A and B are shown apart, each in its own frame.
Chain A
Amino acid sequence: MRLLPFIASAIVTISLVTVLNTQLSIGTTKSPKLGYFLSPQHGFWKNAEKVNTNFDASIIANELKGNVDVYLDDRLVPHIYADNDQDAYFVQGYLHAKFRLWQMDFQTRVASGRLSEIAGPDRLPIDRFFRRLGMVYGAEKTEANINANNPEMKETVDAYTAGVNAFIKQMDPADMPFEFKLMNYAPENWTPKKTYLFLMFMSYDLTGRAATSDLQLTNTRDFLGYDLFDKLYTNNQDSLDPIIPKGTVYQKPSIVPIKPINADSAYLHQSTAVGITNVETPLAPNKNNGSNNWAVAGSKTKSGRPILASDPHLGLNMPSLWYEVQITTPTHSTYGASFPGSPAVIIGFNDSLAWGVTNAGRDVLDFYEIKFKDSTENEYWYNGKWNTAEKRTEVIKVKDSADVVEQIPMTVWGPTMYDAHYQNPQSKGRNLAIQWTAHNTSTGVETFYRLNRAKNYDDYIKATALWTCPGQNFVLATKTGDIAIKQQGSFVARWERQGDFIMPGDDTTYAWQGMIPNEENPTIKNPERGFVSSANQKATDATYPYYLGTATSFPLYRGISVNQHLIGMSNISAEDMQALQTNNDNVFAATARPALMKYLQVDKLSPDAKRMVDEMNNWDLVNSENSKGITVFEIVWDSVTEAVWGDELKGSPTALTSPDDFVLVDQLLKDSNWSVADDISTKGKIENFKDQVTLGVENATKKLLELEKENKLEWALFKATRVMHLTKIPALSRMNLPIGGGKNIINATTEMHGPSWRMVVHLTDDIEAYGLYPGGQSGNPGSTYYDSFIDYWAAGKYYRLLFLAKEKLIQNERTKWHIQFKKSNA
């Protein structure tokens, strides 16, 4: 019986192969298939790129019409020179895939609610949220619109898609990106729909906060009552310095939205809260998603030519949202930051002008409460009768589990996001339909496609007029000396507070009464003060004839800081603009600190608290990385706000929105008897600001002493800024970066959020441009180009961007590699 050793040995071998070829569960995550992952010819080792890799290549692609030359510079930025536009976008798609394929796949999976398909049932809440929000619905509508009405954009996106897929087809499976191997799935072909899904994700990131904040504000109003609510969440921003200077005269509005007759009783003072069912975690984009941009006219610069600066503030991720590229064809030549997932340059410049964007922050998403006839949800009450709700079916595939099917009742408003089958702690059992401009057909990236080719102000106005969602402040500077800013998007003509809360869904008078015509959107060209700027503040003062949305959507202080600096500057150089983008002055604290000190009863403080107050008072009001004073100020401020309104907000069954800092500062400055200061939990005693500020400082001191013990009082150590890999795995991220800045600061770098692309463009004859983003051109964690810009970014430094004609670029010493794209071998 000599078969026995064979059988035993075979069983051991096969078992070992099986174990090493299986994803093992480690806690809530799954390991890669270890044998595969560690195999030097298949697994992660294949992604360990030589530090001195030669990126030269010759690629045959029969989809091309002509030949394309790509030169990579020393930062791995491709400079694409193509015979025609479609070939250029084909190659842009190819390069995005070559360097960022996993990220492109992952981001569109998030947007389309397809994470469970690769990661299992743990991700179902996220997938359901995005499905019910109508992300796929919106992308499909845009795709259908472009296919039917816009052959030029269809061609562009098709060429881009073909380029991505040409790369995937040529890729050896052993070379597929690291994360696919780690998570054990494979890339699938790109489609135009994925590009539109990606753009939907940007709409969500920049306008989707209302999907959560409208519910929170409604619950906050229900909990506090409208009168107290209106105090804590006031729409009056006394210190507002709007994008369009105060005193600008606006033309007569073409739409005068009429507030429904019953709005006071049935809407503002309404309270509809019912029981909580089926709890799921709500998601919300970061409140600080915002940005700075500005342009200074030649009258304020050393050269006499305009300078433009743009730095979008978004979540800090690796691989970065951005990918630098130059695209040069016979029709145009442009350079800037592009989105892996979309053709064209998004923020950048061409040989005539430069442009940048910040988020408009306008409310373009509303909820309407729906009454269904019965539990089938087939009919809903609207306009005095029962109406049919067609069902939209969304099938979510789940790894190692059965499909989950969402049946979403479609109403006159839009998809019913929340119903008996889908609730979260904020929706409180209501049936809520969502109306969102991102669901309306959009023109995709046509605005940016046209900006890439724009020659002057008129082209810029035409290009931006096509933009619908997310609303943006488009800044412009041209070589010929024009500067301008326009807030553009598809904006609802609202009556005061329309859509801040959930609206009645049966009443036609609560419908949107029209969209504001493009030419009435806030715009300014070549203003007398010699600059234009925006930093997510309200675009206009109260004389603008339309309601912009609740003040909590509009941060105040960055705008004030930008304008204060720009007003004081003259003889400006590009370096001055870089210094301003990385400026750490804290104008909020400059107002808030003296306001606090006005009330602080220093003689009542403990010795430790006195020491902390000294630290705060000796601080130079700059959020530099090694400052301790800012850490003390931040914690003191938070403790004081908690002391002032924590008691009012306490006891709510759902998380409430915190009131904004400006509300307290304004009250501290003008009213020492603000009723909110009283602690309502102490009976028979009325507290005032003096009591609460002093209490706040004492409470803060306890926390500060702990931080001091841990040696974390220094701002950068306390703040712990990091650039996280999209999977949130720390080993693939960059943690604890030495960088200052923060909330309310021009250098808006917080814990995981901040300037995601910094660009300064001096509109000289040759275009003098600088820029960088916190990441690297390669999405491969095994590449030296994965995080190559991060230290430079943290240090506030800039790269000179190479924007040259082909012959000059070839000769430039920073040009390193050449990738040749040819139609055939011939």
Chain B
Amino acid sequence: MKYIVSILLSALLAYAVGIYGNLPWWSFVVTNFIIAFAIPIKPAHSFTAGALGVGSLWAGLAFGIDMANNHILSTKVAKVLTIGDSYLLVIFMTVAIGTLLGGLASLTGSFLRNSK
């Protein structure tokens, strides 16, 4: 239950702090850290909860935007970043960053709680 709550909270708060364009893009690192610090689960579980929370949020947003855009911009971005010419690679990179950072942020929060 705590695990599920962690995932949902992580996604929800990441989305909430992302709405405000004036806050830095990495604000979810702070929210994930706090969630993992506050909800006592194992560090490994914290990691996957944070990773799944932010990763699935970013995946959902990126896929949704990309579909509605007919891949116009993601295809161009793939070429600009010289990673090929497929929108899928750009979505993959996006999701990878969200997942990895989300997980690491939660892991750090969890470790801090465990260190007391």
Interaction A to B: yes
Separation of A732 and B66 alpha carbons in the complex (Å): 17
Docked-complex contact B79 and A42, CB < 8 angstroms: no
Separation of A362 and B71 alpha carbons in the complex (Å): 48
Which of the listed residues B15, B79, B94 has the most CB atoms from chain A within 10 Å of its own CB?
Answer: B94
Separation of A784 and B114 alpha carbons in the complex (Å): 51
Separation of A3 and B112 alpha carbons in the complex (Å): 7
Separation of A578 and B50 alpha carbons in the complex (Å): 61
What 10 pairs across the A-B complex have the smallest Cβ distances? Answer: A41-B18, A174-B21, A782-B73, A731-B79, A40-B61, A6-B111, A48-B69, A173-B21, A39-B25, A48-B73
Minimum distance in angstroms from A102 CB to a CB of chain B: 14
**Binary CB contact string for chain A from 726 to 764 against chain B (1 if under 8 A, 0 otherwise):** 000111100000000000000000000000000000000
Chain A neighbourhood of B108, CB < 8 A: 6, 9-10, 13
Separation of A6 and B21 alpha carbons in the complex (Å): 30
Minimum distance in angstroms from A95 CB to a CB of chain B: 21
Chain B neighbourhood of A56, CB < 8 A: none
Binds B, one of A28-36, A689-697, A817-825: A28-36
> Which of A2, A34, A781 contacts B73, CB < 8 Å?
A781
Known: A13-B101, A43-B25, A175-B21. A38 touches B90 (CB 8 A): yes
Minimum distance in angstroms from A5 CB to a CB of chain B: 5
Separation of A13 and B22 alpha carbons in the complex (Å): 22
Interface: A21 (CB within 8 A):
yes
> Which of B26, B57, B111 contacts A5, CB < 8 Å?
B111
Known: A51-B68, A182-B80, A784-B72. A173 touches B15 (CB 8 A): no
Interface: B9 (CB within 8 A):
no
Chain B neighbourhood of A21, CB < 8 A: 24-26
Minimum distance in angstroms from A302 CB to a CB of chain B: 42
Interface: A266 (CB within 8 A):
no
14 contacts between A and B (CB under 8 A): A6-B108, A9-B107, A13-B104, A17-B29, A17-B101, A34-B93, A38-B94, A39-B94, A40-B18, A41-B19, A49-B69, A731-B76, A782-B72, A782-B76
Docked-complex contact A34 and B97, CB < 8 angstroms: yes
Chain A neighbourhood of B112, CB < 8 A: 6, 10
Separation of A174 and B105 alpha carbons in the complex (Å): 23
Separation of A66 and B30 alpha carbons in the complex (Å): 46
Chain B neighbourhood of A50, CB < 8 A: 68-69
> Which of A16, A178, A782 contacts B100, CB < 8 Å?
A16
Known: A35-B25, A35-B97. A42 touches B68 (CB 8 A): no
**Binary CB contact string for chain B from 63 to 99 against chain A (1 if under 8 A, 0 otherwise):** 0011011101110110111100000001001100110
* Contact surface of B with A, Cβ cutoff 8 Å: 15, 18-19, 21-22, 24-26, 29, 43, 57-58, 61-62, 65-66, 68-70, 72-74, 76-77, 79-82, 90, 93-94, 97-98, 100-101, 104-105, 107-108, 111-112, 114-115
Interface size class of A (residues with CB under 8 A): 35 or more
Known: A5-B115, A182-B80. A35 touches B101 (CB 8 A): yes
Docked-complex contact B58 and A732, CB < 8 angstroms: no
A6-B108, A51-B72 provided; 7 other pairs, C-beta below 8 A? Answer: A5-B111, A16-B100, A21-B26, A35-B25, A39-B58, A49-B69, A782-B73
Minimum distance in angstroms from B62 CB to a CB of chain A: 5
Chain A neighbourhood of B62, CB < 8 A: 40, 45
Q: Which residue of A lies closest to B101 (CB)?
A: A16
Separation of A47 and B114 alpha carbons in the complex (Å): 42
Chain B neighbourhood of A44, CB < 8 A: 73, 77
Chain B neighbourhood of A172, CB < 8 A: 21
Separation of A705 and B77 alpha carbons in the complex (Å): 37
Docked-complex contact A48 and B72, CB < 8 angstroms: yes
> Which of A9, A38, A730 contacts B93, CB < 8 Å?
A38
Chain B neighbourhood of A34, CB < 8 A: 93, 97
Separation of A17 and B25 alpha carbons in the complex (Å): 10
Chain B neighbourhood of A6, CB < 8 A: 108, 111-112, 114-115
Docked-complex contact A41 and B69, CB < 8 angstroms: no
Docked-complex contact A729 and B21, CB < 8 angstroms: no
Separation of A6 and B15 alpha carbons in the complex (Å): 25
Docked-complex contact A782 and B69, CB < 8 angstroms: yes
Separation of A9 and B32 alpha carbons in the complex (Å): 13
Known: A48-B65, A48-B66, A732-B76. A40 touches B94 (CB 8 A): yes
Interface: A404 (CB within 8 A):
no
Separation of A47 and B98 alpha carbons in the complex (Å): 19
Interface: A284 (CB within 8 A):
no
Chain B neighbourhood of A43, CB < 8 A: 25
> Which of B94, B104, B114 contacts A16, CB < 8 Å?
B104
Q: Which residue of A lies closest to B70 (CB)?
A: A51
Q: Which residue of A lies closest to B68 (CB)?
A: A50
Chain B neighbourhood of A20, CB < 8 A: 26, 97, 101
Docked-complex contact A47 and B73, CB < 8 angstroms: yes
**Binary CB contact string for chain A from 667 to 702 against chain B (1 if under 8 A, 0 otherwise):** 000000000000000000000000000000000000
> Which of B18, B68, B73, B115 contacts A39, CB < 8 Å?
B18
Minimum distance in angstroms from A383 CB to a CB of chain B: 57
Chain A neighbourhood of B65, CB < 8 A: 40, 45, 48
Separation of A9 and B76 alpha carbons in the complex (Å): 35
**Binary CB contact string for chain A from 773 to 812 against chain B (1 if under 8 A, 0 otherwise):** 0000000011110100000000000000000000000000
Separation of A38 and B22 alpha carbons in the complex (Å): 16
Minimum distance in angstroms from A79 CB to a CB of chain B: 26
Separation of A9 and B104 alpha carbons in the complex (Å): 7
Docked-complex contact B100 and A36, CB < 8 angstroms: no
Interface: A12 (CB within 8 A):
yes
Q: Which residue of A lies closest to B72 (CB)?
A: A782
Chain B neighbourhood of A9, CB < 8 A: 104, 107-108, 111
Q: Which residue of A lies closest to B69 (CB)?
A: A48
Known: A17-B29, A732-B80. A38 touches B73 (CB 8 A): no
Chain A neighbourhood of B74, CB < 8 A: 48
Minimum distance in angstroms from A41 CB to a CB of chain B: 3
> Which of B61, B93, B111 contacts A41, CB < 8 Å?
B61
Docked-complex contact A13 and B29, CB < 8 angstroms: yes
Minimum distance in angstroms from B12 CB to a CB of chain A: 13
Minimum distance in angstroms from B63 CB to a CB of chain A: 9
Known: A36-B25, A44-B77, A729-B80. A12 touches B104 (CB 8 A): yes
Separation of A810 and B5 alpha carbons in the complex (Å): 52
Chain A neighbourhood of B29, CB < 8 A: 13, 17
Minimum distance in angstroms from A273 CB to a CB of chain B: 45
Separation of A21 and B74 alpha carbons in the complex (Å): 20
Known: A5-B111, A13-B101. A731 touches B61 (CB 8 A): no
Chain A neighbourhood of B94, CB < 8 A: 38-40, 45
| Contacting residues of chain A (43-79) with chain B, CB-CB under 8 angstroms | 43-45, 47-52
